[in-house]
Amino acid sequence: MKKTAIVLTFIISIIGYAANLHAGTAKGSGETVVDCSKEPIPDGSVEVSINGVAFKPTVVKLRKGGGLSSDGVKLDKFTLEFKNEDDMFARLSAEVSFLVPKGKNPDGKTFRRLPDTTPFPKVSTVKQPAAAEGLPEVQTWEMQDRDSGLKISSSFNGPGSLRIELGKRTGKTITGKIHICVPPGPDAGDKMSSVSGAFQAVLE
Each residue's pLDDT tens digit, 97-148: 999 999 999 999 999 999 999 887 888 899 999 999 999 999 999 999 999 9
Q: Which bin fits 82, alpha (ψ -120 to 50), beta or left (φ > 0)? A: beta
Please tell me the predicted confidence (pLDDT) of residue 33.
Answer: 79
Please tell me the predicted confidence (pLDDT) of residue 135.
Answer: 95
What SS3 state is found at 84?
Answer: coil
How many separate domains does the chain show?
Answer: 1
Handedness of CA 72, 169, 108, 163 (dihedral sign): positive
Please tell me the predicted confidence (pLDDT) of residue 8.
Answer: 44
Please tell me the predicted confidence (pLDDT) of residue 109.
Answer: 98
Tell me 165's DSSP state.
E
Please tell me the predicted confidence (pLDDT) of residue 100.
Answer: 98
Q: Which parts of the chain register pLDDT below 50?
A: 1-30
Q: Which bin fits 55, alpha (ψ -120 to 50), beta or left (φ > 0)? A: beta
Which residues is 101 bridged to in the sheet?
75
What residue numbers bound the domain in which 99 lies? 2-203
